[in-house]
Structure 1
Amino acid sequence: MENLFYTLFILFVSGLILSRFAKKVNIPNVTAFLLAGLLVGPYVLNIVSAELLTDMRFVSDLAMGLIAYSIGSEFKIKYLKHLGATPIVIATLGAFGAMIFVLLGVVIFGFPLPLALVLGAIAAATAPAATIMVIKQYRAKGLFTETLLSVVAIDDAVTLIIFGFNAAIARTLIAGTFSFSSILRPFAEVFGSILVGAVLGLLLTYAFRFFSSSGNRLILLLGFITLGIFISQQLGFSPLLLIMIMSAMVANLYHDHVAMDEEVSHFTPPIFMLFFVLSGASLDPRVLPTVGILGMVYLIARVLGKLTGAYAGAVLMKAPDNIRKYLGTALLPQAGVAIGLSYAAQSIVPMYAMQIQSVVLAATLIYELVGPVATKWSLGKANAIEK
C-alpha cells in the first residue's frame, strides 16, 4: 500500500511538471503526460514497477469509461440531425482505408495473407482518449470538432466489425474450414453493447429523479459507469460503445444533463492525467528495434490509409473544405482497442501473434506521442481553436 501511494505521488507530480514544460514548447498536455509516464515507467527510469502498473489497471478502465461518457453526452438528436451521415461515412471509409492500405502493404512486402488481414483490421482502430483530451484542453468548437468527435466514436464499432470479418477469413485460410458464427460475433458484440447501453441509460435517467444534490448524482453516475464496465467485461462487449450509448440516452432524456456534464468535467482532470501517465508508463521503447520492415509498413500504410479514407468520405459527403483537408490527421492516435485486438490475435493466428503484438505496441508508442500533436495541428488549421 505504501508503494501504491508513493507511485501515485510520482505519477501526479511527473505529469504536472512535464505539462508545464509542454506549455512552454506549445505541445498538448496529453503528449507531456505520456512522456512523463514513459520516463518514470519500468522501461526507462523504473521508478514505477510493472507490477504496480498492473495493480492500477482499474484507473485506466474507469478513465476510459469517463471518456466514453464524455463523448456520448455530445450525441443529442438535434446534434446528430445537424451532422447527418457525414461522420458515419468518414469513419467507415477512414477505417477501411487504413485496413486496405496496411493489408496491401504487408502482402506486397511478402508477408502471409492471414497476418496481413489481422494487422489490417487492427490498423482501422483510432484511440478516442487522446483526441478528446486535446479538444478539451484547447476548447475546440464548431462543425469540425463536432464531426471529429462523432467519427472517433463511430470508429470503435466499425473496427470491431472489420476485425470480426478479417479474423474469420484468416482462420479459414489457416484451418481450411469456415465458421459462420465468427462472422456474426462482431455484430453481436456491437448490437449487444448498444442494447445494454440503452437500457442502462434509461435506468440511469429514471434513477436521477430520486436524487437532487449534485454529489449524489455524480456518485450514481460513477456507479452506472462501473456497472457498464463490469457488464462489458463479463459479456465480451465494447465498454466504450456501451457507455457512449448510455451517455447519449441520458443526454437526450434527462432534463438537467448539462449541469451533470459540468459536474463530471470538474471531477475528471486528475483521473484523465493519471490515465495518460499510466499509459505512457506502459509503453516499452525496447520493441522499436524489433519490428523491422513489417513495423515500418504498418506505420506508414496506416497513416496513408486514414488520410485517404477520411478525405474520400468527406468529399463523398460534400463536407466543408477544412474537414476534407485536416480531419484525417486527427485520427492518428492508436492505443487501447488496438492493443486489445493484438492480444486477441493469439487465438486467431497464433503463429504470428508475437509479430503482431510487437508491431502494434511499437506503433502505439509512436502514434500516442505524435498523434496528439497532429490532432492539435488539425484543430488549429481547421480554425476550430478559439484564438
Structure 2
Amino acid sequence: FAIGGSLKLSKLRQLGKSILWINFSQALCACLFTFGLLAALGPWLLGAGFSREFFISGYLPMALIVGAVSAATAPAAVLAIVHEYRARGPLTTTLLGVVALDDATAIILFAFASSLGAAAIELDAFSCYRGLVLPSLMILAAVLWGALGGFLLTTLAGAVKRKESLLVVILGGLLLVSGIAGQLRLSPLLATMMVGFWSANRFKDGESLFQAIESIEEPIFALFFTLAGAHFDLQVIKLAGPLAVLIVLARFSGKLLGTKFGAGLAGAPQVVRKYLGYGLLPKAGVTVGLILVAQPPGNSQLYEVMLNAVLGSVIINELIAPPLVKYALLRAGEGIEE
C-alpha cells in the first residue's frame, strides 16, 4: 500500500524517461542474473540429484521467485546515506528516482514469476497460454481488482472524520482486498499496491491515508522482522550458505551491468553510468517480505533452503552494500564527508 502511494503520477512525469529505462534495465538484469546462476549452479551447490521433472516443476519455479525478489532495493538504507552525507547532484537525483520505482517493479516481477512458477509446476499442462498469457491476465486482474478496491476505500474514507476511525477503515479495506485477491488466486501484494496508487492519485486527501498508516508502521516492522528471523534454521543455513553467497554475487552483477546498460540507452551522464549501480545494491524489507509470502513449489524442504538462502543474502548484503553506496556518492563528488 505504501509503495503504491509513492508512485504519484506528477512525480513520475518529473523523473523522465531516462530513469524509467534505468529502472527497468537494472531490475530485469538483477532478476535474470540471479535466476540464471541459481538455475545453473544451485543444484550443484546443493549436491542434489534432481530428476528432470522436479528440476522443471520444483527447483526452477523457486529460482524464478528468488530472482524476482532480488530486483528490490532497500530505499531506507539509500536515503539514510544520502542524508548523512548531504549528497546532491545528477547521480543522487537519478538514484532517488530509480529507488522510488524499484520496489514497485520488484512486486510486478514477483507477481509474474509466481504465476509463471505455478504454471511450470503443472508440467504436463504447461503451454504458452499457461506460461505467458495466463500470468499476464492474472496480473491485469490483480491491478483491476486493486483499482476497484482503491475506489471503494477512498469513497468510504472520504466520509470518515476521525483519524482513529480512518485507520480502521484503511486496515479493513486492505485486508478485504488482500483476502479476496488470495481467494481469486491473484497477487495480494499487487492488488494492495494498486490500492495505494489509486489513493495517492485519485483521492484529494490521499496524504491523510498514508499518515494514518505511518502511526503503526514501527510495531508492524518490528513484528515483521521478528517473524522473518524465526525462519532461520541453523541446520538449513549450512546448506543454504553457498546459495546465499551466489545470490549476492548474481544480484550485484545484475544491478551493476543492468544499470550501466540502461544508463547508456538513456544517454545518462558518465558519472551516473559509472556509479549508480553501487547505489542500488542495498536490499532488506521488500525482499524479505516477498520471499515470506511466496508459495512453496510443492516441496517444503526446498522452500526452507531457498528462504534461508535469501535471508542469509540479506544479512551479507547489508554488511557490504551501504559502504558501497557511500563510496559511489563520494567518488562522484556529490557527498560531503566530515
What secondary structure sits across from 1:330 in the alignment? coil
> 1 CA distance for matches of 2:158 and 2:240?
54
1:145 matched to 2:96: yes
Match of 2:163 in 1: 214
Match of 2:37 in 1: 105
> 1 CA distance for matches of 2:62 and 2:316?
20
What secondary structure sits across from 1:211 in the alignment? coil
What secondary structure sits across from 2:212 in the alignment? helix
> 2 CA distance for matches of 1:159 and 1:251?
23
- CA drift of 1:261 comes to 2.5
The aligned runs of 1:89-168 (5 Å cut-off) are: 89-106=21-38, 109=41, 114=56, 117-126=60-69, 131-134=74-77, 143-165=94-116, 168=119
Match of 2:181 in 1: 232
Which residue type is aligned with residue 66 of structure 2?
Answer: A
Match of 1:245 in 2: 194
1:204 matched to 2:153: yes
> 2 CA distance for matches of 1:107 and 1:201?
38
- CA drift of 1:148 comes to 0.7
Which residue type is aligned with residue 264 of structure 2?
Answer: V
Cα 1:161/1:385, change in 2 over 3 Å:
farther
Unmatched 5+ stretches in structure 2? 45-51, 84-91
2:276 maps to which of 321, 324, 339: 324
2:310 maps to which of 360, 364, 382: 364
The aligned runs of 1:170-209 (5 Å cut-off) are: 175=124, 178=127, 180-209=129-158
Conserved? CA contact 1:228–1:239, under 8 Å: yes
What secondary structure sits across from 2:69 in the alignment? coil
> 2 CA distance for matches of 1:199 and 1:384?
44
> 1 CA distance for matches of 2:109 and 2:178?
20
Cα displacement string for residues 240-267 of structure 1 (whole angstroms, at most 9, x for unaligned residues): 2211111111111222222332332222
What secondary structure sits across from 2:68 in the alignment? coil
> RMSD of aligned C-alpha atoms?
3.7
Cα 1:91/1:180, change in 2 over 3 Å:
same
Conserved? CA contact 1:145–1:379, under 8 Å: no
1:78 matched to 2:28: no
Conserved? CA contact 1:288–1:362, under 8 Å: yes
- CA drift of 1:324 comes to 2.7
Conserved? CA contact 2:22–2:263, under 8 Å: yes
- CA drift of 1:276 comes to 1.2
What secondary structure sits across from 1:282 in the alignment? coil
1:337 matched to 2:290: yes
Conserved? CA contact 1:123–1:302, under 8 Å: no
Cα displacement string for residues 1-48 of structure 1 (whole angstroms, at most 9, x for unaligned residues): xxxxxxxxxxxxxxxxxxxxxxxxxxxxxxxxxxxxxxxxxxxxxxxx
What secondary structure sits across from 1:335 in the alignment? helix
Cα displacement string for residues 216-272 of structure 1 (whole angstroms, at most 9, x for unaligned residues): 222211111111221222112222221111111111122222233233222221121
Conserved? CA contact 1:106–1:116, under 8 Å: no
The aligned runs of 1:220-299 (5 Å cut-off) are: 220-291=169-240, 296-299=245-248
Match of 1:39 in 2: none
> 2 CA distance for matches of 1:278 and 1:384?
36
Conserved? CA contact 2:3–2:193, under 8 Å: yes
- CA drift of 1:357 comes to 2.1
Cα 1:97/1:212, change in 2 over 3 Å:
same
> 1 CA distance for matches of 2:303 and 2:268?
36
Match of 2:47 in 1: none
Cα 1:366/1:192, change in 2 over 3 Å:
same
> 1 CA distance for matches of 2:190 and 2:335?
26
Conserved? CA contact 1:91–1:158, under 8 Å: no
Q: Percent same amino acid among aligned pairs?
A: 23
Which residue type is aligned with residue 326 of structure 1?
Answer: Y
- CA drift of 1:78 comes to 0.6
Which residue type is aligned with residue 29 of structure 2?
Answer: G
Which residue type is aligned with residue 255 of structure 2?
Answer: K
Cα 1:88/1:122, change in 2 over 3 Å:
farther
Match of 1:314 in 2: 263
- CA drift of 1:364 comes to 1.9
> 1 CA distance for matches of 2:319 and 2:241?
25
Cα displacement string for residues 66-102 of structure 1 (whole angstroms, at most 9, x for unaligned residues): xxx2211111111111224455544543344244434
Unmatched 5+ stretches in structure 1? 1-68
